[in-house]
Structures are given as C-alpha cells and as structure tokens.
Structure 1
C-alpha cells in the first residue's frame, strides 16, 4: 500500500485523486479487535482446557480479532472474575459460576453440584436438551453478562495425603474445594478451605491442606498435585464439573456476526477436546498411574452421601423459584437416565 501511494503522489494530479480513493481500504485494515480472556486454570491445565481452542480462533480470525489468554489469577483473583468482566476490565471468562462468585440464581449449580451428573455427557445434554442453557442465558442477561456456552470437565474426587477408606476418615480433613461442594461436604466433617489456585500444591506440602476435592485424577497429574498427595479416592460427588464461557455483554454485542459464529465454533471445539481428554485420562491414570494409590469407600456407606445430596437439592430448591426449576430439571433428567438403563445408567 505504501509503495502504491508513493507512486501516485509522484504522478502529480492523478496521484492526488488516487490517494483519496485509496483511503477507504485503509479503514478495513484497522487494528484487530482485541479481547482479554482469563481462565480459572493455571498454565499447565490451560494448555488443555482452553488454549488449543483460542489458538485456533486467533489463527482463523486472520487478524480481524485476537483473544489474549491469561491464566488463573494473573489479571484478577478468581473470586473477582465476574465483577471484572461485568465492568469490562476483562472481556471474556472461562470459569464455573460458583468459584467466580457470580450474583445469579444459578451460581450454586456451577462447578460441582453434588450428584447432578454421573458422566461428562450429562452436562451438554442438560444444557442443550433439558433447558439449562436458556435459564443460564436469562439469568446472566439480568446482570449484563453474556453466557456464551457451558460444557463439562472432569469428575470430583478427593486427592489426599492420608488414605480415605470410610466416611469417618473424612472428618477434620482440611480440603481445597468449591464453595457449594464445601458447603455440602461439611456435614461429613470436611473443613473447606479457599486459597488461590496456584498456592494449593505448596499448601499441601506445608500441611495447611490435608487434601483436594477439586478435580479428577487427570488434573491431579497435569498440575502437579499427584506429586504432593499419596491417595486418590475413587468415589466422587459429581460426574462432571459444569463450567462455562462468558463475555461482557457490550463487547459481545459489538462483534460482527462472523466472529460470533467463529467464537461459538471455538468454544464447541474446546468442549469436545475436554470430553475425550478427561474421559480417557481418568481411566488410563487409574490403570497405569504410579503416583497415587487408589482407595474406595464401600458403596453401601457411600450411599449415605448420595442420599444426603438429594436432601441438599431440596434445600437449595427452597431458596428461590429459579433454583427450584433447575433442581426439577436435574431430577427429571436423572430419572430419565435411570429409566433408559444401560448404557445411560447402571443400577
């Protein structure tokens, strides 16, 4: 472009006319739209749960838009993610509703809502076929945030320094977990602890924490927690973490339609990657992993935890009409899966 302009200028009067006519394309070559996305995940985990999709988005956008990726707590603490996005300090967030403390009626269901799911495929079905997506979209619109897309992550297991073989062994254990999961587990003597994500490994080493109930075994190995814990409890309180992508509403509305569609495809790609990465990783590391010894609480004893979860559901449902609606969806979905039988549910 510079060479052509110099040529036209040197051509005299013709150059003056030509230069003005070339001004319009220069507008199309303006700087790309830039977004800042912060994920809940630390660097090692972000390599899998979000970075491949964002790299693809930036490549395909070809300079029209660029999403800058920031990992856990790098711009703001995780607990302040929602406010930062709402105000426009951050354009986009990948997190669960619970740990970013979003002020909505559905926040309690993000992350690990006890026994809401058994398998990772339950989450996208609940959102896309049972109506959760519409509820989430409506609740976030009320607070000026665009709920973009929900997906599933790994199941919730305990990784501990001492073995857990019974419910009694849980008593007094200081555990890093999600707010709602901690609220539920407290009735079994667990002491929930909240710390910055990057501090967890050291906190286990120093004895500040006795364990972690924040992930499945894939993350334990990926982020280094398997190096500081000795045991992995095969019982879990949820089959999949419910996480989402969100955006500042104004920033999202400013995007042209093609970039909105590209963003949707990138998020779908991220969800798909996690489906197979976690599903395969959970199995292979239980079978071939060498860093953690597997322990289990007998099914009959663990049934007490599941029964308590259903009572917990009713407690949550009593808090508001929206929460009651979501709980009814969980109940219907799980009843449908039980009636469908194998492979959806095993009795």
Structure 2
C-alpha cells in the first residue's frame, strides 16, 4: 500500500467513526470519480463539506471519498442508482453507459461556453430534462460546478492531418471520443488517476483530461511533447452531486435547499477561479518544454462535420438524446440572436 492509499484508508476509517459519533446527524458518504487532490475539485468538495455542515448546524455532513474507497472511479454514479452508495461527485457523462443522452448533460462538442451552457441548463429547460432522465435511474442531481474549455489533448507527435489520428490509442472522454473514433482513433477509457501511468507503460499514445491546471497536477507534461487547443470537445463542463433518490428524500426540505444553495455558491466561484488559474498553469507547462499547439482550421472543420454526423446518428437511435439535443439547439438559435447583436465576438 502506498502512502496516499494509506492516508485515504485512514480517512475512510475516521469518517466512519465520525458517523457513529454523529448521533442524529445525517452523514452522507460521497464517492468521487476524480482525484480530490486536483485543483478546483479539492476546493469545491472542501467547501461543500464545510458549508453544508455549518449551515445545517451539523445535521447534514457530506464526507467525500477518493476513487476506490467506496467505488471505482468508473462506477460511482452507477452505484448510486442501485443504492450501493448514497451519493457521488461526478459528471453526467460518466453515466453514458446507461443512456447516451447523459453525455449532453456533461458537455457538448462545439457547443456553448460557460455562460451559454448555464443559461440553457438553469433557465432554458436543461435542468428539468436532466432531472427527468436521472429520476428514471433513481438519482437526484444537483449542479455544483462548471468549468471553462479544456485542453484538447496531450500527444507524443504533432497531429497535422486526419491520417495522424488513424490507429492512435488515445484516452478521450464523452462525445468527443466518438468523433475521434469515427476518424480512426482507438478510444481507450481510463479514469484520471491512471492516465499518466498508462502513457508511461505505452498502453496509450495520447490523452485528454481537463484544464491546464488539472493536467499539470496530474503530471501529463512528463509523458507527452505536444499540448493541443482549443478543447472543441468540451467548451464547458458541468459537475454535479448525485444522490440516491432515497437518500435525497430522507433529507428535510430545508436541508435539501441548503445543499442546493451551497452548490450554487460553489458554481459561481468556480467560474472565476477556474479562469484565473489557467494562464499560470500554461506558463509552467510551456517552461517544462511542452510545445503548445492550436488545431489547424482544416482539422477543426473536420471535427465539427464529424460531430454533426455523430449527433444525427445518435438522435435517430435514441429519442431521449434527440429530446435533449433539440432542446439545446432551440435555445441556442434563440440565444444566438441576442449574442450576435450584443457581444463583440
């Protein structure tokens, strides 16, 4: 057992002991899909724990666990739906094995920036559709954080044309991975904590994960040569708390409202905090010898055209995907009228 695993194990034991001493407190153990040491995630989960505890007077306590303590990273949300665990910290895209429509509730390729995504999700019908879909799987979702565009991937060689993607073994998330697969890449799923070691062992040739600040902390700059932008596959990404329906119903209305309110505050702060951290992270990545690249216009056009084909095929195959995607497209068309007249670019 390595040092981090030992620490995580002791924390788990301590949290269970705290549960026993908490009396009437409702202690909800939350399985995280992501390493809790990563920037933004550590801040968000810490604040969620502290403020829910404080504002409920200790009546509700959220105890976050690193991947592997309560559930493997790949199955946190799935185990919430069965009731094996009470709650998870993750993204809707992690539930795509149950229904591809969930992927649209995490991020949309060539889709909205943070402001537009939040406008659709919170005011344009996205949250209602999201909760209807999760309810079918015994889950209640609470939006808690939204992040700006990701990096588009780390590569050992330059990608100058579609031919360079053929046969490339790449860790890639969500609908963007479907696009690259259509272009000949071999998409390999890996939880974030396993990406760097997989590249070191040669199991994968390339990988995308998240923002520069998170990628830097993971150490991706130590196993690649090129870092590509923009992150066309995830122009914004939504993160949520997922509660088993019975766990959520077991809370009072006031306790539920407190969790929703704290999540809204964490989301607000994450928008500014995430943006301000990335320039410094990129500077460190550049100083480490990594070559920063932007996708060529031709490749971006190819990615976008391929995404449109993927979306059309998925809408034809899955009525729930169609319902959510068409809701977003209607909103975007309406929003675009305002955007074209009001924004400088």
TM-score class, shorter: 0.7 to 0.9
Residue pair 2:141, 2:241 contacting (<8 A) in 1 also: yes
Deviation at residue 344 of structure 1 after TM alignment? 5.1
Deviation at residue 187 of structure 1 after TM alignment? 1.7
Deviation at residue 183 of structure 1 after TM alignment? 1.8
Q: Which secondary structure state, in structure 1, belongs to the residue aligned with residue 208 of structure 2?
A: strand
Query: Given the alignment of the two structures, is residue 217 of structure 1 paired with residue 215 of structure 2, yes or no?
Result: no
Q: C-alpha deviations, 1:1-41, integer Å up to 9, x for none?
A: xxxxxxxxxxxxxxxxxxxxxxxxxxxx9431110111221
Alignment match of 2:330 (pick from 327, 332, 338): 332
Question: Please, what is the CA RMSD of the aligned residues?
Answer: 2.4
Assess, with a 3 A threshold, how the Cα gap between structure 1 residues 52 and 160 changes in structure 2: closer, same or farther.
farther
Q: Which secondary structure state, in structure 2, belongs to the residue aligned with residue 306 of structure 1?
A: helix
> Could you state the TM-score of these two structures normalised by the residue count of structure 2?
0.83
Residue pair 2:166, 2:183 contacting (<8 A) in 1 also: yes
Residue pair 2:143, 2:238 contacting (<8 A) in 1 also: no
Assess, with a 3 A threshold, how the Cα gap between structure 1 residues 49 and 150 changes in structure 2: closer, same or farther.
closer
Counterpart in 1 of 2:127? 133
Deviation at residue 272 of structure 1 after TM alignment? 2.1
Alignment gaps of 5+ in structure 1: 1-28
Deviation at residue 247 of structure 1 after TM alignment? 0.5
Deviation at residue 337 of structure 1 after TM alignment? 4.5
For residues 155-194 of structure 1, what are the structure 2 equivalents within 5 Å?
155-156=149-150, 157-194=152-189
> Could you state the TM-score of these two structures normalised by the residue count of structure 1?
0.82
Assess, with a 3 A threshold, how the Cα gap between structure 1 residues 48 and 345 changes in structure 2: closer, same or farther.
farther
What CA distance in whole angstroms lies between the structure 2 residues aligned with 1:272 and 1:333?
22
Q: C-alpha deviations, 1:160-195, integer Å up to 9, x for none?
A: 232334433333221112243322211222211112
Alignment gaps of 5+ in structure 2: 1-21
Alignment match of 1:44 (pick from 34, 37, 45): 37
Counterpart in 1 of 2:5? none
Q: After the TM superposition, which of the residue ranges 145-154 and 37-46 deviates more from structure 2?
A: 145-154
Query: Given the alignment of the two structures, is residue 322 of structure 1 paired with residue 320 of structure 2, yes or no?
Result: yes
Deviation at residue 158 of structure 1 after TM alignment? 0.9
Counterpart in 2 of 1:249? 245
Query: Given the alignment of the two structures, is residue 78 of structure 1 paired with residue 73 of structure 2, yes or no?
Result: yes
Deviation at residue 115 of structure 1 after TM alignment? 1.7
Residue pair 1:104, 1:139 contacting (<8 A) in 2 also: no
What CA distance in whole angstroms lies between the structure 2 residues aligned with 1:49 and 1:212?
25
Deviation at residue 148 of structure 1 after TM alignment? 2.2
Q: Which secondary structure state, in structure 1, belongs to the residue aligned with residue 301 of structure 2?
A: helix
Residue pair 2:33, 2:72 contacting (<8 A) in 1 also: no
What CA distance in whole angstroms lies between the structure 1 residues aligned with 2:145 and 2:326?
20
Q: How many residues align?
A: 317
Counterpart in 2 of 1:299? 297
Assess, with a 3 A threshold, how the Cα gap between structure 1 residues 83 and 99 changes in structure 2: closer, same or farther.
closer
Q: C-alpha deviations, 1:243-264, integer Å up to 9, x for none?
A: 3221111111111122111101
Residue pair 1:112, 1:178 contacting (<8 A) in 2 also: no
Assess, with a 3 A threshold, how the Cα gap between structure 1 residues 319 and 108 changes in structure 2: closer, same or farther.
farther
Counterpart in 1 of 2:139? 145
Assess, with a 3 A threshold, how the Cα gap between structure 1 residues 309 and 131 changes in structure 2: closer, same or farther.
same
Alignment match of 1:259 (pick from 255, 258, 272): 255
Alignment match of 1:58 (pick from 34, 44, 53): 53
For residues 226-237 of structure 1, what are the structure 2 equivalents within 5 Å?
226-237=221-232
Q: After the TM superposition, which of the residue ranges 40-49 and 258-267 deviates more from structure 2?
A: 40-49
Counterpart in 2 of 1:279? 275
Counterpart in 1 of 2:264? 268
Q: Which secondary structure state, in structure 2, belongs to the residue aligned with residue 76 of structure 1?
A: coil
Residue pair 1:35, 1:90 contacting (<8 A) in 2 also: no
Q: Over alpha carbons, which structure has the higher Rg?
A: 1
